[in-house]
Chain A
Amino acid sequence: MHDGANIIEVRGLSKKFGASRVLHGIDFSVPSGRIYGLIGHNGAGKTTAINAILGLTDYEGNVSVLGREPYRNRPELMKDVAFISDVASLPRFLRVSELLDLMVHLHPNFVLARAAELIADTDIRLSSRIRTLSKGMMAQLHLAIVMAINARLLVLDEPTLGLDITFRKRFYRRLVEDYMDDNRSILITTHQVDEIEFLLTDLIFLRKGRIILNADMDRIASRFTQIVVSPDMVAAAEAERPVFRVVQLGQNIMIFDGLDPARAREFGHVTTPSVSDLFVALMETPNSESGVEK
């Protein structure tokens, strides 16, 4: 049984597909009790990194999940790790009741009562064939199955794709209120960044296979500053080398990394950038990988 502090340890993780390298020796750790958002453009290497962590693909470098090397120990690892890599991946020839029966006998940490409770909260009938469910219902079922597993690590790759806003919000709320505890960690990738911002404790930005930001949310809030710069202070603000600058509706908006708070207030109205604003800022900043990693 793993008793170390970090649930995931990644050191020098690299992956090549043919001549194309999609991960360039990335390092990060995920301790217990944290919810990490792994954010990046399409093709940034998020899913490849997640697949390596889940033992679904081989790789170069060192990856340890709950003290195990994932690629060689996937079956053992899956007792303590739950994941959704595609919401529409349930076997369609089964009925919902057959799927639950299968989970009971194949997964030692699956809690049937918990799954039944979660499914009862939806319109899904136990007698329904999975192939007859709508995409949204299939996603709800998959999420119920995954949340009924007593896992130490939950990995969600675009978990709410295709779901309506009501269900997405309810799912994320449940994740925090009912599922999360100090003994577990969650790693989420999604393009709907704003919806998960409230639940994240840590953020990793991935660009072209490299980590350009790895920080906890408190640190991000203290480190990055978004300022609606007063017209007369634009030149002075630009002299402080913002990591991002945009003009919206005639307003100069700049994002700074590590700007002194007192100095920031001299330039205009100061706020903390949202994750999506920060993502856009750092993705568009050349060479932003230098100096912003944890």
Chain B
Amino acid sequence: MSAYDLRAAATLMKKELIEHKAAFIYVPGILIGVAVLTFFAATWSNGGALKEIQVTSEISGKLDLFNVLYAGSIMAWMGYLSLMLFFYFAGSFSADSKNNALLFWKSLPVSDFEIMATKTITGITLLPMIIFGWALVTALAATIALNALASISPLIASLNKGVSIWTMINLEISAMVFVGVTLLWQLPLYVFVGLLGTLLRGWAVPAFVLILFMLSALEGIIFFTPEGYFSTLVENRIGATFDIVGQMGEAMGMRGPENLADMVAAGSFVPDFLARINWTSMVLGWFVALAFVWLASEVRRRQLAD
């Protein structure tokens, strides 16, 4: 791959970002802005009450507010990312056809496969990185907000134990590894909805749900089993990495997301998580995703305009 090809790929990724900036830049910014405003409004109206709440050792021993907020916000952003990526893949594979623009894109010396591959790579690299940027902004905002609250409320002060910068970085890295691996694990599903997008445009999402449901139901009826091969496969593609984190938590005697920071602080999250991944299945999934990208590009090659 030449420097020119790399520049072209970077340009196409930038184009994808510009096209989807509402979902990955504007809306997250607005959400954080609303959260900050809500915080200030709540503090303003409830400041007096907060000052008067008495601290008990029972409460302060059980909770670390920063960890809850930080881990919770990362999980919330991961949920947001998964949802937005699903709709990104469903829409972006056919988005070039909007307003007859497909003819313009086809006038460029870029193949349909390169375009589709770039859309996929953007979806699993650039866009998640942007959401992680927003997760960091959230962490920063949470730190400032908690410290501000701690100065007026003994309760918050007792609950705001804080974590070291290293733990924060470690948590962020662990979350990035988890999300990265989860995206790569789920890639065939994302690209499948993209392929449906090239065929069915706006009907991709309902068609995706319907196809998975119908195939699972047919399999169940034909083989008379509620957990057939196909439904198990899909379930595994959607939830395997979450199950792994659950198993790791249980192994450490932990339950629930509030313990995520402790798990990370224990230092073995990333190697332990990676060791539990079925890499053979992961790589097979990439080949399936590649086949879907190729199929989508062949569909696109045969399309002219709306």
Residues of chain A having any CB pair with chain B under 8 Å: 51, 54, 56-58, 74-79, 82-86, 88-94, 98, 101-102, 105-108, 142, 146
Contacts and interface: CB of A to CB of B under 8 A. Distances in A.
A85 B109 CA distance: 16
B219 interface: no
B255 to A, nearest CB: 45
A146 B302 CA distance: 23
Contacts of A91: 15, 19, 96, 98-99, 101, 104-105
Contact of B18 (A54, A79, A94, A107): A94
B212 interface: no
Given A75-B114, A105-B11, A106-B11, A86 B109 contact: no
Contacts of A92: 98-99, 101
A82 B107 contact: yes
Given A74-B106, A91-B96, A94-B15, 16 more contacts: A57-B304, A78-B108, A84-B107, A85-B103, A91-B19, A91-B105, A92-B98, A93-B18, A94-B18, A105-B7, A105-B10, A106-B12, A106-B109, A107-B108, A142-B104, A146-B107
Given A91-B104, A92-B101, A102 B15 contact: yes
Contacts of B114: 75
B99 A51 contact: no
B44 interface: no
Contacts, number: 79
B125 interface: no
A75 B107 contact: no
A24 to B, nearest CB: 21
Interface string B1-17: 00010011011100100
Contact of A89 (B4, B12, B305): B305
Given A94-B18, A107-B109, A86 B12 contact: no
Shortest 3 CB-CB distances between A and B: which pairs?
A: A105-B11, A78-B109, A75-B111
29 contacts: A56-B106, A56-B304, A74-B106, A74-B111, A75-B110, A76-B109, A78-B109, A85-B107, A89-B99, A89-B100, A89-B103, A89-B305, A91-B19, A91-B96, A91-B98, A91-B99, A91-B104, A92-B99, A93-B18, A93-B19, A94-B15, A94-B18, A98-B15, A98-B18, A105-B8, A105-B11, A106-B11, A107-B109, A108-B109
A102 B7 CA distance: 10
Nearest to A87: B100
Contacts of B7: 105
B109 A79 contact: yes
A74 B103 CA distance: 12
A83 to B, nearest CB: 5
A259 B6 CA distance: 62
A75 B11 CA distance: 16
A107 B18 CA distance: 19
Contacts of A57: 302, 304
A188 B200 CA distance: 33
Main secondary structure of the interface of B (DSSP, over half): helix
B298 to A, nearest CB: 12
Interface of B: 4, 7-8, 10-12, 15, 18-19, 96, 98-111, 114, 302, 304-305
B299 to A, nearest CB: 14
Given A86-B305, A89-B101, A101-B11, A106 B106 contact: no
Contacts of B108: 78, 106-107
Contacts of B305: 85-86, 89
Nearest to B22: A93
A192 to B, nearest CB: 20
A106 B106 CA distance: 12
Contacts of B12: 106
B304 A51 contact: yes
Nearest to A146: B107
B114 to A, nearest CB: 7
A58 B301 CA distance: 10
A186 B10 CA distance: 32
A16 to B, nearest CB: 15
Contacts of B109: 75-79, 106-108
A246 B15 CA distance: 56
Contacts of B105: 91
Contacts of B111: 74-75
A278 B11 CA distance: 48
Given A56-B304, A76-B109, A88 B99 contact: yes
Contacts of A90: 101, 104
A92 B114 CA distance: 21
A132 B18 CA distance: 16
Contact of A88 (B4, B19, B100, B110): B100
Nearest to B96: A91
Contacts of B101: 89-92
A89 B98 CA distance: 9
